Structure 1
Amino acid sequence: MAKDLFLSLEDKPGEAARLGEALGNAGVNIEGLCAMADGGRSTVHILVDDAARGRTALEGAGITVDRETEVLVSPSLPEEWVDRPGGFGRMARALADADVNISFAYVVSGSRLVLSTSDDAKTAEVLQAMM
């Protein structure tokens, strides 16, 4: 199963470069990233192709990985979900109707969706049924 790395950086020029360079120098590919700044800090979720190497590279650059979360990564999303109004809503409604809570979600390369949910097995079933 894929892992999302969650970390916090200072909200200042060069921090994203430091993160990207650390991973790149270690040969770790960033498949997806979601970052938001607030109150002088940036919270970052990263999907990398090798979580253990990614953690080692980041920590070697002085960047603490606060947690790793097992996540589902969908195959490429169907065309009717991508850049179409309502696609995410239909998926979220199907999960809600199955009593699944979404903790976080973001889109990554290849029109794939990263999901952290309360029930990954049920989420996989619901997504499969929708595709």
Structure 2
Amino acid sequence: MAYDVTVILDDRPGELARLGEVAGAAGVNLDGFAAFTGEGRGVVHILVDDDRLEALRDALDQAAMGVVEAREVFVVSVADEPGALGELARRLADANVNIDLAYTTFGGVRVVFATDDLQSARAVLAG
């Protein structure tokens, strides 16, 4: 299983570096991430395997960079061609599955999806 971990940082130089250093020191590989800033804060979404989730939580807590939310997500391989994302998103939409988070991963063409109905989303994209 994969988890999306949401961390809120101060919007200042070095915070993302510190987050990466803390995760690295804990032996946690970040499989993907997305980061956005606004209103003086940074919102970071990190993709980690479930077997490293607690290690990441503990390391971030010790560094006073607490986890706001950790939730199960699913990661789908996507063809590296025009329209591929649209096709996947359309299949989910046609099954009435709402995507509330999506970002890509490192090392290939894969998309992370979060939804309130993981079971339906997985079933739609598996078949």
TM-score (norm 2): 0.91
Equivalent residue runs for 1:1-131 within 5 Å: 1-49=1-49, 50-74=52-76, 76-77=77-78, 79=79, 82=80, 84-109=81-106, 110-129=108-127
Identity in percent: 47
* Distance in structure 2 (CA, Å) of the matches to 1:103 and 1:87: 18
Deviation at 1:118, TM superposition (A): 2.5
Give the CA RMSD over aligned residues: 1.2
Structure 1, residues 31-73: CA drift from partner, whole Å, max 9, x if none? 0100001111110100123111111111111101111111112
* Distance in structure 1 (CA, Å) of the matches to 2:119 and 2:25: 35
Is the CA contact (8 Å cut-off) linking 1:18 and 1:61 kept in structure 2?
no
Is the CA contact (8 Å cut-off) linking 1:5 and 1:45 kept in structure 2?
yes
* Distance in structure 2 (CA, Å) of the matches to 1:10 and 1:23: 17
Deviation at 1:85, TM superposition (A): 2.4
Which consecutive unaligned segments of at least 5 residues does structure 2 have?
none
> How many residues get paired?
124
* Distance in structure 2 (CA, Å) of the matches to 1:111 and 1:87: 10
Structure 1, residues 80-105: CA drift from partner, whole Å, max 9, x if none? xx2x2221111111111101000101
Secondary structure, counterpart of 2:97 in structure 1: coil
TM-score (norm 1): 0.88
One-letter code aligned to 1:112: R
* Distance in structure 2 (CA, Å) of the matches to 1:111 and 1:59: 31
Structure 1 residue runs of 4+, over 4 Å off? none
Is the CA contact (8 Å cut-off) linking 1:3 and 1:47 kept in structure 2?
yes
Deviation at 1:124, TM superposition (A): 1.1
